[in-house]
Chains A and B, each alone.
Chain A
Amino acid sequence: MSNQKKRNFQIEAFKHRVVVDPKYADKTWQILERAIHQIYNQDASGLSFEELYRNAYNMVLHKFGDKLYTGFIATMTAHLKDKSKLIEAAQGGSFLEELNKKWNEHNKALEMIRDILMYMDRTYIESTKKPHVHPMGLSLWRDNVVHSPKIHSRLLNTLLDLVHKERTGEVIDRGLVRNVTKMFMDLGESVYQDDFEKPFLDASSEFYKVESQEFIESCDCGDYLKKAEKRLTEEIDRVGHYLDAKSEDKITSVVEKEMIANHMQRLVLMENSGLVTMLLNDKYEDLGRMYNLFRRVTNGLATVRDVMTSHLREMGKQLVTDPEKSKDPVEFNASNSSFEYFINLNARSPEFISLFVDDKLRKGLKGIADADVEVVLDKVMMLFRYLQEKDVFEKYYKQHLAKRLLSGKTVSDDAEKSLIVKLKTECGYQFTSKLEGMFTDMKTSEDTMRGFYGSHPELSEGPTLIVQVLTTGSWPTQPAVPCNLPAEVSVLCEKFRSYYLGTHTGRRLSWQTNMGTADIKAIFGKGQKHELNVSTFQMCVLMLFNNSDRLSYKEIEQATEIPAPDLKRCLQSLACVKGKNVIKKEPMSKDIGEEDLFCVNDKFTSKFYKVKIGTVVAQKETEPEKQETRQRVEEDRKPQIEAAIVRIMKSRKILDHNNIIAEVTKQLQPRFLANPTEIKKRIESLIERDFLERDNTDRKLYRYLA
């Protein structure tokens, strides 16, 4: 306000002229106290809000806020103590009703009182930082009623009892329970949790512990799962009707733990009704239920997967041992998506199926009639169709096939070729072209060898070299590993190299020392003669002992130049495997240490003349190997996805995001299930490289750039 204004009639802050008389404060308080009583006694209709408000206002104004506040607390407390006694006196079923009724009354009264004391709330309480009227009123209720010794446990037990009744089939008054749980929530989340939720969860845990034990003794797997599912649905329903929403996750965890997690193994392996039975009898609904329930618990699906896997292997074994049975198509009747679910649940299914085939093609199909062989292979194809990640299978298959071919371990060329034809029919030429290439290489190599020895007749004395020339694109890539070959061998290798390059100029050869094998004739200390079949690395190591009796690890490493991890594995297979320990190691520990000493095991014996020590059998991959394979598969998928995108965009010219994803997924489906995120990444990469562009107006539209 500027001084210029002629505001001489200065209106000062209103100063009350009433004399401050201590008796005045008492009188005013009495009016208010009486009013509070009347409000609690449901007799408030005759009261004037304005008058009461003004009285409270005046008290605070005249610095009697203290008296007002303490008076309010004392009066309310006294009332609540009375109410508490009334509630305690209620019999049986009316206990909860009485509590609920008094709670509602208290809330209404509290509201009115708060309105009357609003001035105190805003001024006196603000400055003294004491609890405001409304929260104070709730605390008083909590302390004097809910936590009163005679009510506290009775209340909890009554509620838990009702829940139990409902669980055993009785109908209860849900609205009443909801009001009470809501009361807990209004009093504070910690009150709800401590005074109700925690004991509720404990009681539920007990209940389901007992019930699940009963059920599992008396029901079969399918029925048990039905019951478990029903209980789960019930509990969720219960929360919706009369518990706080935050309890849902907690109670479902309890049910999942007691009914499912604690009995997982027993359920899955249950005789005549467990997972295997469900699969064999096409119990798709049960399987689906099992999947949905087990998915909720840690390791639930892992348990299922493991059983599935062993089952698959068992089935495979059974097929072979009982050819009659293998003619029965019912066993493999898996024409439903739940089977597909399971097969693809296990990320290792492609690997395992390939291993199964490998096993068969090495020895399993030995001596079995051709027709039966066909049946086995057809069944393999059936499984193959369900795989979503066919390209992973292809990778493993290639690896295993390579090993089979190179070690000469395939039991039947015809069986191999037959399977490839089946794969070709299923997946097209591209899928199998490389596999066929591998066979071609083997054949060509045979011809090459004949040519080599034909033109070098002097080499028929001395060590025989058999070379397989592998075309790089067709075979699984391995980095070339350095290795010093023994002199006799390297001379031969050089001769071959010049022969080959003489007839095939412009090509490059690199020796894959980690893939070769050797047959060595050995004479041991007591004159035992054996022919040892070993890997190339092992041969290099063994040949060193022609010139030295004892060698240290370091000396061997230096002489052979084989990288440490491969060398260690090689030495382990020569020195630490019972029945195959042609080398002695000091100390006799299982692991290869850099200070170890080696010498020939003169005491070596074996029943057989020919002893195989190679480590070339296809095995289940170790974790790091698995990761590597996985990574390679992912890398290979990228260009395939891009090719699909470009193909589609070229023909459609303009397409929106969701449709591209759908089309690409469809196109790639014969090979693998494309990940939408990955597809998006590829699209963006293509945009960067100007194959596509985004539409200016609609960000979700893409255009093909010619």
Chain B
Amino acid sequence: MNSIIAVFHQYSKTSSNLIDPQGIVLLCSDLDVSRTDITILMLAWKMKAEKQGYFTQEEWTRGLMALRADTLDKLRKALPELEKEVRTPSNFADFYAYTFRYSLTEKEQESIDIETICQLLDIVVGSTFRPQVDYFVEYLKIQNDYKVINMDQWMGFYRFCNEISFPDMSEYNPGPAWPLLLNNFVEWIRDKQA
């Protein structure tokens, strides 16, 4: 326990007792992980971190204890296991939802702007659903109906990737089950294919 806190202090700011964005940069460097890698998000999820860019001592401790890592070295070695754990179907859905909430920076904020969403999509599901993400990102950029995305639409996309075969999308049935955004998206693709 003490070593966990010791590691914490290596990165935290004394005045606030938080690891702030600068600290995270250092942490990533030491862990040999890119700041923009999905790994750091997975770590945040494991810690159940609340505020993007910051780790509290409590969150840090929770995370590292769950990973059974009390040194930086052990933490580094635990990362591949963490990824496997996150990528199990049941966890991934939760993780996917978490990344959205984690990106809400203001208190009453409920949606995220298009540009951020595009980046987030790329990081979170770009490697698993490359074509869907490519198409969806292109669509989001050219459409004019929505300037921000909410949680319902965010989750809708995940369901779309999992349930609908791409690019034929033969099982897709526009209806109350799907957010309007996705209906428009599908229609746009169909127009392109024609």
A-to-B contact residues, CB < 8 Å: 5-9, 11-15, 17, 49-50, 53-54, 57, 111, 115, 118-119, 122
Q: Which residues of B contact A8 (CB under 8 A)?
A: 20-22, 53
Cα–Cα distance between A111 and B134 once the two chains are bound (Å) = 18
A54 touches B131 (CB 8 A): yes
Q: Verify A11–B34 contact, CB threshold 8 A.
A: no
Known contacts A49-B167, A122-B138; A11/B123 CB under 8 A: yes
Q: Within 8 Å CB of A119, what residues of B?
A: 131, 134
Residues of A within 8 Å of B135, CB to CB, are 118
Asked whether B34 lies within 8 Å of A17 as measured between CB atoms, the reply is yes
Q: Can you list 26 A-B contacts with CB-CB less than 8 angstroms, sorted by A residue number?
A: A5-B105, A6-B53, A8-B20, A8-B21, A8-B22, A8-B53, A9-B52, A12-B35, A12-B36, A13-B119, A14-B36, A14-B119, A14-B122, A49-B131, A49-B166, A50-B129, A50-B131, A53-B130, A53-B131, A53-B134, A54-B131, A57-B131, A111-B193, A118-B135, A119-B134, A122-B138
**Contacting residues, chain A, for B134 (C-beta < 8 A):** 53, 57, 118-119
CA distance A677 to B4 in the complex (A): 98
Answer yes or no: B5 CB below 8 A from chain A CBs.
no
B67 at the interface (CB under 8 A from A): no
A11 to B99, CA, bound (A): 13
Verify A11–B53 contact, CB threshold 8 A.
Answer: no
Contact with A along B97-133 (1 / 0, CB 8 A): 0000000010000000000100110110011111100
CB <8 Å contact, B120 and A11 = yes
- Mask of B51-95 contacts with A, CB within 8 angstroms, 1/0: 011000000000000000000000000000000000000000000
B24 lies within 8 A of chain A by Cβ: yes
> A11 and B36: CB pair below 8 A?
yes
Could you say which of B21, B126, B128 contacts A14, with CB atoms under 8 Å apart?
B126
1/0 contact string of B8-24 vs chain A (CB within 8 Å): 00000000000011101
Residues of B within 8 A of A49 (CB): 131, 165-167
A12 to B37, CA, bound (A): 10
Residues on the A chain within 8 Å of B35, using CB: 12
B161 to chain A: closest CB distance in Å? 9
- Interface residues on chain B, number (Cβ under 8 Å): 29
* Known pairs A6-B105, A57-B130 / 5 extra A-B pairs, C-beta < 8 Å: A8-B21, A9-B21, A11-B36, A118-B135, A122-B138
| Complex alpha-carbon distance, A111 and B37, angstroms | 34
Could you tell me the distance in whole angstroms from the C-beta of A688 to the nearest C-beta in chain B? 50
- When chains A and B are docked, how far (Å) is the Cα of A7 from the Cα of B106? 10
- Do B166 and A50 touch (CB < 8 A)? yes
A45 to B73, CA, bound (A): 45
CA distance A54 to B129 in the complex (A): 9
Closest to A12 in B: B36
Q: Which residues on B sit within 8 Å (CB–CB) of A7?
A: 53, 105
Contacts of A118 in B (CB 8 A): 131, 134-135, 167
Q: Tell me, in angstroms, the Cα distance from A5 to B37 when the chains sit together.
A: 22
Shortest Cβ distance from residue B1 to the other chain A in the assembled complex, whole angstroms:
28
- Which residues in A have their C-beta under 8 angstroms from that of B34? 15, 17
Q: How far is the CA of A378 from the CA of B75 in the complex (A)?
A: 122
Which 10 pairs across A and B sit closest by C-beta, in order of nearness?
A8-B21, A9-B53, A53-B131, A54-B130, A11-B119, A14-B122, A8-B53, A9-B52, A115-B167, A12-B36
With A and B bound together, what is the CA distance between A9 and B52 in angstroms? 7
Nearest to B129 among chain A residues (CB) is A50
Q: For residues 22 through 46 of chain B, which have their beta carbon under 8 Å from a beta carbon of chain A?
A: 22, 24, 34-37
Closest to B115 in A: A1
Chain B 160-193: CB-based contact to A (< 8 A → 1; otherwise 0): 0000011100000000000000000000000001
Contacts of B119 in A (CB 8 A): 11-14
How far in angstroms is the closest Cβ of chain A from B188?
13
Expressed in whole angstroms, the Cα–Cα distance for A683 and B183 within the complex equals 55
Please, which residues of chain A bring their CB within 8 A of the CB of B126?
A: 14
Cα A215 to Cα B119 with chains together (Å) = 77
Q: Across the interface, name the chain B residue whose C-beta is closest to A5.
A: B105
Kindly provide the distance from the CB of B123 to the nearest chain A CB, expressed in whole angstroms: 6
Count chain A CB atoms within 10 A of each CB in B105, B128, B167 and give the residue with the most: B167
Question: What is the CA–CA distance of A115 and B119 in the complex, to the nearest angstrom?
Answer: 23
B117-160 contacts to A, CB under 8 A, are 119-120, 122-123, 126-131, 134-135, 138
Closest CB in chain A relative to B142 CB, distance in Å: 12
Chain A residues with CB below 8 A from B129, complex form: 50
Nearest-neighbour CB distance to chain B for A123, whole angstroms, equals: 10
Are B36 and A50 in touch, CB under 8 angstroms?
no
In the complex formed, the residue of A with least CB distance to B166 is A49
- When C-beta atoms are compared, the residue in chain A nearest to B119 turns out to be A11
CB B180 to nearest CB in A, in angstroms, measures 24
On whether the beta carbons of A11 and B105 are closer than 8 Å, the reply is no
Rounded to whole angstroms, the CA-CA distance of A9 and B134 in the bound complex is 23
Residues on B with C-beta less than 8 A from A14 are 36, 119, 122-123, 126
B166 CB contacts on chain A under 8 angstroms: 49-50
- Who on chain B is nearest to A8 by CB? B21
Q: Which residues of A are found within 8 Å of B53, using beta-carbon distances? A: 6-9
Can you name the residue of chain B whose Cβ is closest to the Cβ of A17?
Answer: B34
- Chain A neighbourhood of B130, CB < 8 A: 50, 53-54, 57
Best-buried of A5, A11, A17, A111 by chain B (most CB within 10 Å): A11
Q: Which residues of A contact B122 (CB under 8 A)?
A: 14
Which residues of chain B come closer than 8 Å to A9, judged between CB atoms?
21, 24, 52-53
- Minimum CB–CB distance from B158 to chain A (whole Å) comes to 15
Minimum distance in angstroms from A103 CB to a CB of chain B: 19
Contacts of A12 in B (CB 8 A): 35-36, 119
How far, in angstroms, from A50 to B129 measured CA to CA in the complex?
Answer: 7
